[in-house]
Amino acid sequence: MTALPPLSDSVCPPRELADIEGAFARTLGESFAAELVASAPGRVNLIGEHTDYNGGFVFPIAIDRYIHVAVRPRPDRLVRVAARDRDDVDRFSLDAIARDPERRWANYIRGVAAELAAAGFALRGVDLAIGGNVPVGAGVSSSAAIELATARAFLAAAGADMPLPDLALLCQRVENRFVGVSCGIMDQFISALGERSKAMLLDCESLAYEMTPLPEEAVFVVCDTRKERALGDSAYNERRSQCEAGAAKLGVPALRHAGPDALAAAQSELDAVTFRRCRHVVTEIGRTLDAVEALRAGDLPAFGRLMDASHLSLRDDYEVSCRELDAMVEAAREAPGCLGARLTGAGFGGCAVALVRPADVEAFIRETAARYETETSLQPLLYAVRASGGVQVGPPARRA
């Protein structure tokens, strides 16, 4: 299985750090040597989509792709941020943190600082340099990774820390209040608490979670459609409102508490769209729990079938797929070694994820990509991922 090199212990290799520091020096015109580096992973959700904000279950992994935030504390209250991949700089004072109406990326950092300050932490000014290899805007949660890495960077510079579940909740508030997306807790939680070689079954109501070892024979391949998520935020927020309206009609605090029977009994009271939205959520919660059982029993074909069913439900009932995601899932299902495939994350573009037999990973990637390109004229990006550890912070690893 050549597609997957072994994981290294240091998630920010010295060469990557040098590159990020170099970008800071270039954009701000002064040399920069980090005292600390915080790194947080992207994620891919294996099953349990659009269930988190309904109090349901999700089953994500943190992936071996990271956002790195290199930190140098300052003697004053200023924050300067250089973002390597954007070739852009942000500056703000900790005494007056406002949203930047123009630059969405800057709001992740400003929002983290604002929420940490609101939580009572006495932050210090810092210079930050950001880079990494989580594809941005591609459905693997680069935003949660930026939030988590930035939060730990600010805390470490101030000599503080907080429990990781609380940090995840704080970063979710950044997204909800500062960025303006009513997202659930999944992305921030897995980026905070992911573990190597394990997937996380997270109860999004109680935040209790259980790590489930992934068998060696399960390789997950991220299939990036390269179709940017169009109108993603407003459609996402709309889905969430529809679920809340459905739950209110059903007389439950969240759809998590409505089983298939209760939903069927209330069908005549719901309009057709709300009914389908609720049906997706209720059935997806069931599929997620069944999928975890299948995995624990070593039944990968059953896990794959549940992934396929999840995609159909997201496409037909929840209506968050698009032509490109459907084309990718269809191409994946015809390629060698594929046991199941579905869109992952919010939808409307972004990525699919496929479960593939290890011996077939290379052929799978080649054939899925070729078929997808013929169908859509877009060049996709497919890569196998490994379940990896969550956010970490420490002194930088430098070349000896």
DSSP label of 195: B
In order of 100, 140, 174, 352, the CA distances from 108 in angstroms are 10, 16, 7, 25
How many CA atoms within 13 Å lie on the side-chain side of 316?
9
| H or E stretch at 393 | strand 392-394
Q: Give the one residue of 20, 71, 129, 186 binding ligand GLA; rule: CB under 6 A.
A: 186
Q: Which of residues 108-127 bind ligand GLA (CB under 6 A)?
A: none
Query: Which residues, listed in sequence order, are joined to residue 384 by a DSSP beta bridge?
Result: 221
DSSP label of 396: P
Q: Is 203 a catalytic residue?
A: no
Q: Which of residues 9-48 bind ligand GLA (CB under 6 A)?
A: 45
Residue found by looking up tokens 């942000």 in the block:
90
DSSP string, 316-380: HTS----HHHHHHHHHHHHSTTEEEEEEESS-SSSEEEEEE-GGGHHHHHHHHHHHHHHHHS---
Q: How far is the CB of 58 from ligand GLA (least distance, A)?
A: 7
Nearer to ligand GLA by C-beta: 156 or 391? 391
Q: Are strands 351-356 and 219-224 parallel, antiparallel or unpaired?
A: antiparallel
Counting contacts by CB under 6 A, is residue 187 touching ligand GLA? yes
Count of residues near ligand GLA by CB under 6 A:
11
Q: How far is the CB of 232 from ligand GLA (least distance, A)?
A: 9
- Which segment (2-10, 32-40, 179-187, 206-214) binds ligand GLA by CB under 6 A? 179-187
Q: Which of residues 41-100 bind ligand GLA (CB under 6 A)?
A: 45, 49-50, 52-53
Nearer to ligand GLA by C-beta: 27 or 242? 242
| Set 52, 90, 187, 317: catalytic member | 187
Residue type, 396: P
Counting contacts by CB under 6 A, is residue 184 touching ligand GLA? yes
Residue type, 265: A
Q: How far is the CB of 331 from ligand GLA (least distance, A)?
A: 22
Q: How far is the CB of 239 from ligand GLA (least distance, A)?
A: 9
Q: Give the one residue of 130, 183, 322, 385 binding ligand GLA; rule: CB under 6 A.
A: 183
Cα(189)–Cα(166) distance, rounded to whole angstroms?
9
Counting contacts by CB under 6 A, is residue 348 touching ligand GLA? no
Q: Which of residues 238-257 bind ligand GLA (CB under 6 A)?
A: none
Query: Which residues, listed in sequence order, are joined to residue 201 by a DSSP beta bridge?
Result: 210
- Which segment (122-130, 182-190, 327-335, 388-396) binds ligand GLA by CB under 6 A? 182-190
Q: Are 125 and 77 in contact (CB under 8 A)?
A: yes
Nearer to ligand GLA by C-beta: 288 or 368? 288
**Binding pattern for the stretch 307-346 against ligand GLA, x by CB under 6 A and - elsewhere:** --------------------------------------xx
Nearer to ligand GLA by C-beta: 27 or 288? 288
Q: How far is the CB of 57 from ligand GLA (least distance, A)?
A: 11
Cα(218)–Cα(361) distance, rounded to whole angstroms?
10
Q: Are 235 and 256 in contact (CB under 8 A)?
A: no
Counting contacts by CB under 6 A, is residue 147 touching ligand GLA? no
CA-based torsion, 263, 266, 267, 269: positive or negative: negative
In order of 48, 81, 167, 241, 376, the CA distances from 291 in angstroms are 9, 42, 28, 27, 31
Nearer to ligand GLA by C-beta: 126 or 222? 222
Measured in residues, the chain has a length of 400
Q: How far is the CB of 146 from ligand GLA (least distance, A)?
A: 13
Binding site for ligand GLA (CB under 6 A): 45, 49-50, 52-53, 183-184, 186-187, 345-346
Mind telling me the catalytic residues?
187
